[in-house]
Structure 1
Amino acid sequence: MRFRNTRQLTESLLGHLSEADATVQSMEDASPAKWHAAHTTWFWETFLLRDFVPDYTLFDEQFPFLFNSYYESEGERIARDNRGLMTRPTLAEVMNWRAHVNEAMDRLLDDPANADLIALGIAHEQQHIELLLTDIKHAFCKNPIGPSMWDAQPARSSVQGNGWLAHPGGIARVGHQSDGFAFDNEGPVHRVLLEPFALARRLVTNGEWAQFIADGGYKDHRLWLSDGWAWINRRNITAPLYWRDGKHFTHCGWQERDPDAPVAHISYYEADAFASWAGARLPTEFEWEAIARGQDSPGFCAAAGNQLDPDGNPAQPPLPMGTEELYGDVWQFTRSTYLPYPRFVPAAGAVGEYNGKFMAGQWVLKGASCATVRGHSRASYRNFFYPQQRWQFTGLRLAKDL
């Protein structure tokens, strides 16, 4: 059921796009929606059907080359910044390939021997669903007419309460600690020492960020890391991505900015500068996980927060709204660098390239976003981005020492 629902969710989102929408690539960090639809299909064909269905025939002999992402073990591939040049195959041909693979996968879904790879493939496609949404948002924003993916007007958020969640510190066990699925970078479980700290009950809002701007936050070098100060001056950064004249760009086009909604589309550099301005700091990934551990049951994660509905065709666009949970709305920056945990060993074969080789120069984010498929995240989940990237739904929750 989860396999079919995940595949259907991708296709439902593609139904909001034209052929041209699905082909455009607005920057190197982003990929065309059509490419996401094809690459997730490549994953099933490459890692399951090719190896476990003896009589399986590739849908097209060129597709393994066209839709490999970064798996060196699988050979040559199209350069990432050239993905938008692939006007062919058409979206219709990609959809035919998806149908072909879906039908072939029926032979593998009920075999327990395939359960781990199928769980990985579902999680992989869910990640690409979020990327599809954020990549097309960036592309639409580049269009001077500001097109909409949804016609619905986004609802306004409710005002969230202030306050802090205190933690006494001590030795904490971190990493994935249940029998359910987890990515390899979430383990092994190990111990860390935490000093007493507190985590803000709510995310930083648009209204608070406007105060930061009005107080000269983007002009005060004392607030910024050296690399961040150089970055904002080189790029003339003066506000979060998608902000303009009291509005922000959404999947419903340009909308009035809600001051009570969580701020989104900021970089690590901006998050760190705001925390300094606010007299606080970013949490470590281990502090965030220690607070979230009490909310880490599968049933809770499947219902908590403002996240994308995993079933059917979403009627509402992804938009940060503000909730009482730690999960959802925006991925939250931590001050932790993305490094392997003690005793981490990548998996054998091509799937070992999934996470391990990216463990350098990036920062860990926690908590899921409004574009994350509901139930995809958990306390041990480690998202990661480079410090200047902000096209994802990224925000922050403050921390302080006690």
Structure 2
Amino acid sequence: MSPQAALARRCAAIRAQTEALAAGLSEADCQAQSMADASPVKWHLAHVTWFFETFVLEAHEPGFRPHHPAYRVLFNSYYQGVGERHPRPQRGLVTRPSLAEVLAWRQAVDARMQTLLAREGLPPACLERVELGLQHEQQHQELLLTDVLHLFSCNPLLPAYAEAETPAPRAARPEPVRWVAQTGGLVDIGHAGEGFAFDNEGPRHRVYLEPHALAHRLVNNEDWLGFIGDGGYRDARWWLSAGWDWVQGQGVQAPLHWRRADSAAAGWQQFTLRGLQPLHPAAPVVHVTFYEAEAYARWAAAQCGLPLRLPTEAEWEAAAAPLAAAAVAAGSFIEGGALQPQVVVPGDGGPALQQLFGEVWQWTRSAYLPYPGYRAWAGAVGEYNGKFMLDQTVLRGGSCATPRGHIRASYRNFFPAAARWQFTGLRLACEG
């Protein structure tokens, strides 16, 4: 199979996977918008289609005509170079086009994309733009799920997106943290030049790391219960100033989607895409902000007397890159259907560093900034990453809602410090 034919097959598969994620939702589910940071499912389905029509077909399809001229504005997210945009907080008010009309548009664009990709001799720039569109669609598959989870959490009925699965085995006690030494020194980080990467993953460059250690696993719910039980959300000592203002202003007492059970003896429950479930002590903590992650690291350091902190993104990548092939294979991703972070059962063996990929996006202590020599892509797609390099923090590793083929060791996700509706968690580092 030629590379172009393989790309056409991937295009069909990824586009079908997006629709499969929405297949069990009602039209009302797909219309609602729970907050300004989230988007309706219908908008996600439309926007990724807009991306292919705007950035691929418009540039490379002979005799191009838009499916509907108004869609260019309605479903533009933030691309100033393309033109006007409908306000993000008002996406849920766009009741027309209907869901059926959006799905029909998707089918029409899919057919046009397959016709285009069947043409021989397409220029490399076209194929590269198609690949970008597929990677973009995979990002929105995860966003679709996290936005649905937030939407359903606002419903008093607490509906489940998917049926509950068999609970994970409960260990008597979750496994204690082991520290895996990292020698540091001069290391190369950034995309190595093989396969797709976003522009913010390069150029590859050399950094110096002091010796340090990484926790062998992610911070789990039992760890976090210790933080809550010790009054962590009520003690300003552990919090950055902006984080303390956020805690006080929002009245936060626990991670997002945690709920007190009706019975005090039952403890906490967690709302998930599979409905309301008992909190599993060994599962990775999820839906925490950078503020919470940083506060937890400071609190944990005080409890054990070690110089604990969040890792930098360079420390994380230097440790993860040599293990990436096996670690990605071991992680929980969207294809597995778990839809929530999975438990590592003590005694499972495996590599010294576990849960590097999948489960939860891991907060680092690194600000999202350009690498030395960074150049944004040319044209409107150059707005994809570079213009957000302020007031954002880097996360690494992917989550249980990330497509497995979308992640790599050099991948730099980023969100504001107060974001927590994504599948976000943390791993600790220790200096020295």
TM above 0.5: yes
- Give the aligned residue type for 2:277: Q
- What 5-or-longer segments of structure 1 have no aligned partner? none
SS of the aligned residue for 1:296 comes to: helix
Amino acid at match of 1:78: H
Q: Give me the whole-angstrom Cα distance separating, in 2, the residues matched to 1:142 and 1:95.
A: 26
**1:56-71, aligned counterparts within 5 Å?**
56-71=64-79
Q: Distance in 2 between matches of 1:74 and 1:144?
A: 40
Within 5 Å, which residues of 2 pair with 1:220-259?
Answer: 220-245=235-260, 246-259=268-281
CA offsets per residue over residues 245-293 of structure 1, 9 Å max, x none?
1111111221111111000000000000101111110000000000001
* Contact 1:363–1:386 under 8 Å retained in 2: yes
Conserved? CA contact 1:48–1:117, under 8 Å: yes
Q: Give the superposition deviation at 1:108.
A: 3.1
Does residue 307 (structure 1) correspond to residue 333 (structure 2)? The answer is yes
Amino acid at match of 1:10: T
Provide the alpha-carbon RMSD of the alignment.
Answer: 1.4
Check whether the contact 2:218–2:427 (CA below 8 A) recurs between aligned residues: yes
8 Å CA contact 1:225–1:273 kept in 2: the answer is yes
2-side partners of 1:301 and 1:47: how far apart? 34
The answer to whether the Cα contact below 8 Å between 1:331 and 1:396 also exists between their aligned partners in 2 is yes
1:56, distance to aligned residue in structure 2 (A): 2.7
Range with bigger deviation, 118-127 or 157-166: 157-166
Matched, 1:275 2:297: yes
- Which residue of structure 2 lines up, in the alignment, with residue 134 of structure 1? 146
- Determine if contact 2:328/2:358 at 8 Å carries over to the other structure: no
**Given residue 321 of structure 1, which amino acid in structure 2 is its aligned partner?**
Q
Aligned equivalent of 2:349: none
Equivalent pairs: percent with the same residue? 53
Q: Provide the C-alpha distance between the structure 2 equivalents of 1:50 and 1:317, rounded to a whole number of angstroms.
A: 38
Contact 1:197 1:400 (C-alpha < 8 Å) held by counterparts = yes
For residue 292 of structure 1, the aligned residue among 310, 320, 335 is 320
Matches within 5 A, 1:25-174: 25-109=33-117, 111=122, 113=124, 114-153=126-165, 155-156=167-168, 159-160=174-175, 162-174=177-189
CA distance in 1, matches of 2:228, 2:374: 41
Does the alignment pair 1:362 with 2:370? no
Structure 2 counterpart of 1:322, one-letter code = V
Q: Deviations over 1:270-323 (max 9, x none)?
A: 0001011111100000000000011234xx4662300111xxxx7x34100135
Task: Label 1:162 to 1:112 Cα distance change in 2 as closer, same or farther (>3 A).
Answer: farther
Which ranges in structure 2 are unaligned for 5 or more consecutive residues? 1-8, 261-267, 302-307, 345-353
Distance (whole Å) between structure 2 residues aligned to residue 371 and residue 157 of structure 1? 21
- Measured in 1, the distance between the counterparts of 2:179 and 2:401 equals 26
Alpha-carbon distance in 1 for matches of 2:151, 2:338: 16
Contact 1:150-1:317 at 8 Å conserved across structures: no
Compute the TM-score of the two structures, normalised by the length of structure 1.
0.95
**Amino acid of the structure 1 residue aligned with 2:114:** D
Q: Secondary structure at the match of 1:334?
A: strand
SS at match of 2:343: coil
Equivalence for 1:343: 373
How far the C-alpha of 1:104 sits from its partner, in A, is 0.4
Amino acid at match of 1:144: P
Task: Point out the more displaced range, 145-154 or 124-133.
Answer: 145-154
What are the Cα deviations for residues 325-358 of structure 1, in whole angstroms up to 9, with x where unaligned? 4001000000000000111111110010000000
- The correspondence for 1:379, drawn from 390, 394, 409, is 409
1:163 deviates by 1.1
Task: Note the C-alpha offset of 1:129.
Answer: 0.4
- The one-letter code sitting in structure 2 at the alignment partner of 1:347 is W
Aligned-partner Cα distance in 1 for 2:116–2:396: 33
Contact map agreement 2:317 2:409 (CA 8 A) in 1: yes
Larger radius of gyration: 2
- 8 Å CA contact 2:274–2:339 kept in 1: the answer is no
Q: Does 1:318 align with 2:318?
A: no
CA distance in 2, matches of 1:192, 1:157: 41
Helix, strand or coil at the partner of 1:292: helix
Distance (Å, rounded) in 1 between the aligned partners of 2:221 and 2:177: 15
User: Structure 1 residue 327 and structure 2 residue 360: aligned?
Assistant: no
- What amino acid is the match of 1:293? A
Where has structure 1 moved over 2 Å in runs of 4 or more? 107-115, 152-155, 157-162, 300-304, 322-325
User: How many pairs were matched up?
Assistant: 395
Q: Is the 8 A contact 1:157 1:321 kept in 2?
A: no
Distance 1:153 1:345 in 2: 45
In 2, Cα distance between the equivalents of 1:258 and 1:181? 36
Residue 351 (structure 2) aligns with: none
Deviation, 1:115, is 2.2
Kept in 2: contact 1:154–1:317 (CA 8 A): no
Which amino acid in the other structure matches residue 120 of structure 1? Answer: L
Q: Is the 8 A contact 1:126 1:372 kept in 2?
A: yes
Q: Secondary structure, in 3 states, of the residue corresponding to 2:150?
A: helix
TM-score normalised over the length of structure 2: 0.89
